[in-house]
Amino acid sequence: MIFGKHINKYYLKYSWMILLGLIALVSVDFGQLKIPELYRMAVNGLNNGAVEVDGVLHTFDMDFLLDEICLPLCIVIVMIVAGRFLWRIGFFGSAIKVEQEVRFKMFDRCKDLSQQYYAVNKVGNMMSLFTNDIDTIRDCFGNGILTFADALIMGGMALVKMYRMNVILTAFSMIPMVFLFIAASLVGKKMSAKWRERQEAFSNLSDFSQESFSGIAVIKAFAKEAKELMAFRVLNIDNERVNVEFVRMATLMNIMITLFVESVICIILGFGGYLVYVGVFDAGELVEFILYFTNIVWPIMAISMLIEQHARGSASLNRISELLDTGIDVKDSEAVRAAVEAGDTSVIDPEIKGTVEFKHLNFTYPGSELEVLHDVSFRIEAGENVGLIGKTGSGKTTIVDLIARTYNVPDGTIFMDGHDVNDLPIHTVRKHLAYVPQDNFLFSQTIGENIAFAFEGSDDKAAIEEAARYADVYDNISEFPEKFETMLGERGVTVSGGQKQRISIARALMKNSEVLILDDSVSAVDTKTEKTILENLRTTRKGRTTILIAHRITTVRHMDKIIFIDDGRVVDVGGHEELIARCPAYAEMVELQRLEDERKERE
Ligand code: ADP
């Protein structure tokens, strides 16, 4: 059985199923304990020709055999079969429901965790929480209730029967069992630690595999297959080692159980044989006693299994609880939540036209000591076409990520149409934004579904095609045999980098939101395509704000405004000519890029 903050409530929620299982289990145990009595009657009947039932002596004939032994045995067997079926439904059925609900809670939590969390926690580790650990929880819940209840009911009832038959023999039989219990508890503790190690080894393995498959192109390009294979081998061997150690302990536990159980059988046979010899027991009673004992072997094993299972379950539940208890660091403030609950439309749905303003923003990434943005201030009017330019690492992506509230920002530093972004629900801020991130991630769906991603289930073909045309990818898509119905493989591997980039642009364009952010989104396309896309952006996004991050001056020179960033600071803001005239650093960058372009042309 397994207990914990995230599990306890399910015992109550599925109490009706658990109760059904318990009733079935009691019937099964009751039936099983009837069998030794029937055996005693058969043995004594065969031995003595007469059987004592409730103090009355009956002749052992065919009628007695059929009516008092065979018929009850058949009824008991039917009862046991039906009961076993029902307790499986009750216990395992509820465990599957718990598994499904906890997994859903985990996914729900994962969707709210910030990018920072995913930057620190590896995907492989998360995947093993969703597979191995949750499977263990299910096993511990269902099997746990079964083992606990069975140990208690069957063990208790069998012990009472044994006790009633002979107190001293029962006491002798129990001595090795006490040792078994102590030994099993000690081994169980070690098994728990090993289980955790085992889960960690498995997550390292799945982390590594996941990363290798994602980065397979880099591995091949650098001819590092052999190195990767060796590294995988090390992790695989480590995984094997931990598993072997775990299985070794589980085997030790099994051997201990067999040893103790057999030693008790020896005691019963020895001392019980003596009791038959002195006339305290008859042969049938000895058989009955031994059968009762075999019925408590399972409950005793069940207790040690319970200890081991509990150990595994708690290790997995701790790992899952860590995820479920992870605080959501990027979330709406108390005041915003209260306003949303009160249905305050001025907060939930304010009029947003697309003005974006930064006021003296300093920013340091969580967990880092280095400030990456220093005193950043600028204003973008609604409907402006703005270029964000600067060297790699100067802070451009950080700026746009902060507009999208990917990280927390201090109050009074970022505004949308005059509203502090911290005073608006994150959902509202993002609703008015469309973002083409550097990693043009596409889902394993059709191209059409990827483009219409913002509109769940939309099959507005005209809008999808229009967005693809503006992103200059329509012709490419039309060349695919299935056109917009073409399925993309995991991470969109069936399309080129440039096509992927343009499909991502189409996805953002279709959303048609007040603010469009493109982070280095035309880097993988040729100059002609870049020109077409920029021209289309200018015409289709009239009256709506567009922020385009670029490295090349040629990409942004015709924009309404250029924000020039260097080393986390806004160096200057203005039109291209204006900046050349008054900002020496910008002029120098223009000159450098011009010389570089000339050199490339000559080559
Ligand atoms: P750009 O988009 O101009 O290339 P970025 O905004 O990506 O620059 O990065 C600005 C700085 O912030 C860099 O020094 C980078 O190393 C740092 N940085 C980016 N992301 C993180 C992060 N998640 N945690 C810590 N530092 C980061």
Domain with residue 58: its CATH number is: 1.20.1560.10
CB of 394 shorter than 6 A to ligand 1: yes
Confidence of residue 303 (pLDDT cuts 50, 70, 90): confident
State phi, psi for 350 to the nearest 5 degrees: -75, 160
Q: How does pLDDT run across 234-267, given as a tens digit for each residue? A: 999 999 999 999 888 888 888 887 888 888 888 8
Strand partners, 52: 57
Q: Across all residues in the chain, what is the average pLDDT?
A: 86
Pairing of strands 561-566, 545-550: unpaired
| 230's tokens | 């060796």
Distance CA 55, CA 266 (A): 30
Count CB neighbours of 374 within 10 A: 14
CB of 114 shorter than 6 A to ligand 1: no
State phi, psi for 438 to the nearest 5 degrees: -60, -40
Same domain membership, residue 185 and residue 101 = yes
Same domain membership, residue 93 and residue 171 = yes
CB of 396 shorter than 6 A to ligand 1: yes
Q: Which of 397, 407, 438 to mutate to test the pocket of ligand 1 (most atoms within 8 A of CB)?
A: 397
Distance CA 572, CA 583 (A): 7
Same domain membership, residue 286 and residue 142 = yes
Last residue of a domain, which of 291, 324, 357?
Answer: 324
How close is the Cα of 396 to the center of ligand 1, in Å? 8
Total number of residues shown for the chain: 603
**What are the Cα distances from residue 204, in Å, to 199, 220, 232?**
9, 22, 10
Q: Which residues lie closer than 8 Å to 8 by C-beta, 6 or more apart?
A: none
Q: How does pLDDT run across 439-491, given as a tens digit for each residue? A: 878 888 888 888 888 887 667 888 888 889 888 888 888 888 888 888 887 55
Q: How does pLDDT run across 364-377, given as a tens digit for each residue? A: 998 888 999 999 99
State phi, psi for 394 to the nearest 5 degrees: -80, -15
Q: Within a domain: residue 3?
A: no
Position 13, amino acid: K
How close is the Cα of 556 to the center of ligand 1, in Å? 22
Nearest ligand 1 atom to alpha carbon 119: 23
How close is the Cα of 390 to the center of ligand 1, in Å? 13
Position 372, amino acid: V
Distance CA 68, CA 53 (A): 10
Distance CA 309, CA 295 (A): 21
CB of 390 shorter than 6 A to ligand 1: yes
Going by the DSSP 8-state scheme, the letter that residue 541 receives in this structure is T
**Position of tokens 């920029």?**
534
CB of 398 shorter than 6 A to ligand 1: yes
Burial code (b: 16+ CB inside 10 Å, e: under 16) for 558-584 equals ebebbbbbbebebbbbbebeebbeebe
Q: Whose CA is nearest to atom 25 of ligand 1?
A: 365
Residue 124 clears pLDDT 80, i.e. is over it: no
Q: Within a domain: residue 535?
A: no
Q: Within a domain: residue 257?
A: yes
8 A C-beta contact, residue 389 and residue 564: yes
Same domain membership, residue 159 and residue 66 = yes
How close is the Cα of 397 to the center of ligand 1, in Å? 7
Same domain membership, residue 139 and residue 40 = yes
Same domain membership, residue 160 and residue 82 = yes
Which pLDDT belongs to residue 212? 86
Q: Which of 398, 399, 563 to mutate to test the pocket of ligand 1 (most atoms within 8 A of CB)?
A: 398
8 A C-beta contact, residue 44 and residue 283: yes
How close is the Cα of 398 to the center of ligand 1, in Å? 6
8 A C-beta contact, residue 173 and residue 268: yes
Which pLDDT belongs to residue 457? 64
CB of 393 shorter than 6 A to ligand 1: yes
Q: Within a domain: residue 245?
A: yes
Q: Whose CA is nearest to atom 5 of ligand 1?
A: 395
Distance CA 21, CA 229 (A): 49
Residue 492 clears pLDDT 70, i.e. is over it: no
Q: How does pLDDT run across 574-595, given as a tens digit for each residue? A: 988 888 888 898 888 888 888 8
Count CB neighbours of 416 within 10 A: 26
CATH of the domain at 388: 3.40.50.300
How close is the Cα of 11 to the center of ligand 1, in Å? 47
Same domain membership, residue 97 and residue 30 = yes
Same domain membership, residue 466 and residue 504 = yes
Helices (H) and strands (E) in the chain, counts: 24, 12
Same domain membership, residue 243 and residue 122 = yes
**What are the Cα distances from residue 47, in Å, to 42, 43, 284, 334?**
9, 6, 9, 83
Confidence of residue 102 (pLDDT cuts 50, 70, 90): very high
Give the helix ranges, DSSP H, for 512-583: 527-540, 553-556, 576-582
Q: Whose CA is nearest to atom 7 of ligand 1?
A: 397
Of 212-221, 241-250, 387-396, which range is least confident? Answer: 212-221
State phi, psi for 535 to the nearest 5 degrees: -65, -45
pTM given for the model: 0.74
Distance CA 340, CA 425 (A): 8
Q: Within a domain: residue 437?
A: no
Mean pLDDT calculated for residue range 307-336? 85
How close is the Cα of 367 to the center of ligand 1, in Å? 13
Which pLDDT belongs to residue 458? 66
Q: How does pLDDT run across 398-435, given as a tens digit for each residue? A: 999 999 888 989 999 999 999 999 999 998 999 898 88
Confidence of residue 209 (pLDDT cuts 50, 70, 90): confident
Give the DSSP H/E element, type plus range, for residue 53.
Answer: strand 50-53
CB of 407 shorter than 6 A to ligand 1: no
Distance CA 603, CA 598 (A): 9
CB of 119 shorter than 6 A to ligand 1: yes
| 72's tokens | 């009850």
Nearest ligand 1 atom to alpha carbon 390: 3
Q: Within a domain: residue 139?
A: yes
Going by the DSSP 8-state scheme, the letter that residue 39 receives in this structure is H
Q: Which of 330, 364, 372 to mutate to test the pocket of ligand 1 (most atoms within 8 A of CB)?
A: 372
How close is the Cα of 386 to the center of ligand 1, in Å? 21
Q: Whose CA is nearest to atom 24 of ligand 1?
A: 365
Q: Within a domain: residue 1?
A: no
Confidence of residue 79 (pLDDT cuts 50, 70, 90): very high
Number of domains in the chain: 3
DSSP 3-state helix, strand, coil percentages of the chain (rounded to 5)? 65, 10, 20
Last residue of a domain, which of 324, 357, 372?
Answer: 324
Nearest ligand 1 atom to alpha carbon 395: 6
Residue 535 clears pLDDT 60, i.e. is over it: yes
CB of 392 shorter than 6 A to ligand 1: yes
| 523's tokens | 């880097």
**What are the Cα distances from residue 187, in Å, to 29, 240, 374?**
29, 20, 57
CB of 363 shorter than 6 A to ligand 1: no
8 A C-beta contact, residue 459 and residue 448: yes
Residue with more model confidence, 121 or 400: 400
Q: Within a domain: residue 4?
A: no
Same domain membership, residue 452 and residue 305 = no
Last residue of a domain, which of 306, 324, 342?
Answer: 324
Domain that holds residue 486: 442-512
Which pLDDT belongs to residue 361? 92
Nearest ligand 1 atom to alpha carbon 549: 2
Distance CA 82, CA 74 (A): 12
CB of 439 shorter than 6 A to ligand 1: no
CB of 206 shorter than 6 A to ligand 1: no
Q: Whose CA is nearest to atom 22 of ligand 1?
A: 365
Same domain membership, residue 501 and residue 464 = yes
8 A C-beta contact, residue 489 and residue 213: no
Distance CA 233, CA 294 (A): 46
Same domain membership, residue 128 and residue 272 = yes
